[in-house]
């Protein structure tokens, strides 16, 4: 079984929200998600799993929620950094300049799976990459598989930018030959890293999980991969420990240094923890 560090784990992808205070346009009661995914609930689950720090990704795209999340990350003992949503606009970094001034804000996420395969219709994306490359921030990309080569192209245009692909550009989707090929193209750009998160590993067949995660390690290496639980999205049908256990089961054999990089080191470096 692959090594799990003891006690260092950094969870590079969690969400916290309260739809009563900050409505989420995509939220529906039938999704089986809590109306309030509170930081205290996350702390309890993470403590039991031995997680020492987390990166919170904004769940919606309102400025009010961005400011709330930035303030939370500035004072929470577990949530050490926040990544704010980027609302595509002609100028970067959208309307969140005041929130972005918080030292706890690590960067922005462009959630653009609905956009063109070449990402040419994402207004302001190059300006955002240039902005973050110049400030040391992280640009996260939530994309679909056919957009992965465009992420590599973006990275080559902006080599100073730290670009991180959420959920391996796959999520809970089916890993087909096109995805394997596109993932390798994305990883060919040295400025691109990725999160092993949001893959619904407990629900995949064991061999299927190992095939997906092994492909990620072969493409990126442990120094450009990091663990993310996608709490509470990934724990609707299982516990936090189950997500970690499924990740361990899916991983190839790693030496201690590579294991430490995946579980904590990569995220610590990229998000300046």
What's the pLDDT tens digit per position in 10-69? 999 999 999 999 988 888 888 888 899 999 999 998 988 889 999 999 998 788 898 899
CATH numeric code, 10-270:
3.20.20.140
Full 3-state SS string of the chain:
CCCCCCCCCEEEEECCEECCCCCCCCCCHHHCCCCEECHHHHHHHHHHHCCCEEEEECCCCCHHHHHHHHHHHCCCCCEEEEEEECCCCCCCCCCCHHHHCCCCEEEEEEECCCCCCCCCCCCCHHHHHHHHHHHCCEEEEECCHHHHHHHHHHHHHCCCCEEEEHHHHCCCCCCCHHHHHHHHHHHCCCCEEEEECCCCHHHCCHHHHHHHHHHHHHHHCHHHEEECCCECHHHCCCCHHHHHHHHHHHCCCCCHHHHHHHHHHHHHHHCCC
Kindly tell me if the per-residue pLDDT of 3 is higher than 70.
no
Structure tokens at 138: 């992280």
Indicate the average pLDDT of the chain: 89
What's the pLDDT tens digit per position in 97-113? 445 557 899 999 999 99
Distance, in Å, from the CA atom of 222 to the CA atom of 191, rounded to the nearest integer, reads: 14
Q: pLDDT band for 92, please (50, 70, 90 cuts).
A: very low
Domain boundaries, the chain: 10-270
Kindly tell me if the per-residue pLDDT of 269 is higher than 60.
yes
Instruction: List Cβ neighbours of 232 (8 Å cut-off, separation of 6 or more).
Output: 15, 33, 34, 37, 41, 42
pTM: 0.92
Task: Report the share of the chain in percent with pLDDT over 90.
Answer: 68
What's the pLDDT tens digit per position in 169-224? 999 888 999 999 999 999 999 999 999 999 988 888 777 899 999 999 999 999 99
């Amino acid at each position: 079984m692959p090594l799990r560090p003891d006690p260092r784990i950094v969870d590079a992808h969690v969400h916290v929200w309260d739809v009563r205070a900050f409505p989420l346009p995509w939220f529906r009661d039938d999704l089986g998600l809590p109306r309030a995914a509170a930081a205290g609930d996350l702390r309890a689950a993470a403590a039991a799993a031995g997680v020492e720090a987390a990166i919170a990704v904004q769940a919606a795209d309102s400025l009010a929620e961005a400011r709330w999340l930035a303030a939370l990350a500035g004072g929470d003992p577990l949530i050490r950094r926040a990544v704010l949503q980027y609302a595509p606009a002609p100028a970067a970094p959208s309307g969140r300049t005041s929130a972005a001034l918080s030292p706890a804000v690590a960067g922005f996420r462009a959630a653009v799976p609905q956009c063109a395969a070449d990402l040419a219709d994402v207004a302001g994306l190059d300006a955002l990459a240039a902005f973050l490359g110049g400030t040391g921030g992280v640009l996260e990309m939530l994309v679909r598989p056919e957009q992965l080569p465009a992420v590599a192209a973006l990275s080559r245009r902006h080599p100073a930018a730290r670009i991180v692909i959420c959920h391996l550009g796959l999520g809970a989707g089916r890993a087909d030959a096109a995805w394997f090929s596109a993932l390798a193209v994305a990883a060919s750009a040295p400025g691109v890293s990725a999160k092993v998160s949001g893959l619904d590993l407990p629900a995949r067949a064991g061999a299927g999980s190992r095939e997906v995660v092994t492909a990620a390690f072969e493409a990126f290496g442990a120094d450009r991969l990091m663990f993310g639980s996608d709490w509470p999205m990934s724990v609707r049908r299982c516990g936090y420990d189950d997500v970690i256990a499924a990740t361990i089961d899916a991983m190839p054999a790693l030496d201690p240094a590579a294991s430490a990089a995946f579980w904590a080191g990569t995220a610590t470096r990229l998000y300046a923890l």
